[in-house]
Amino acid sequence: RRYMDAACVFNSILMYINRVKQYHVRSAQYDQILKKNEQMYALLAVTVALSPAAQKLLDENVVTQLRERNNEKIGRMEHG
């Protein structure tokens, strides 16, 4: 399966969202950006749980946010 590729794509997208979301604070789409951001972190958590080696490809800021938001979920997925 292509979990490594998925992790790279999620990493790129999440880094981009983190860079540009500060410019959309007063925008009507800000809530949608935050919701998509949370969904992307959830998908990345599933990817990392299925392929722990994918975490090595991630930016440290993305890994920090991932652990803060989804650490418990990742643990449950890893242990069944």
Q: Would you state the pLDDT for residue 22?
A: 82
d(CA 74, CA 61): 17
Whole-model pTM? 0.86
Asked if residue 47 lies in contact with residue 6, where contact means CB atoms within 8 angstroms, the answer is: yes
Q: Could you please report the per-residue DSSP string of 21-33?
A: GGGGTTSTTHHHH
- List per-residue pLDDT tens for the chain, 80 residues long: 799 999 999 999 999 999 988 888 788 888 888 899 999 999 999 999 889 899 999 999 999 999 998 888 887 887 87
Q: Would you state the pLDDT for residue 27?
A: 80
Q: Would you state the pLDDT for residue 79?
A: 81
**Type of residue at 38:** E
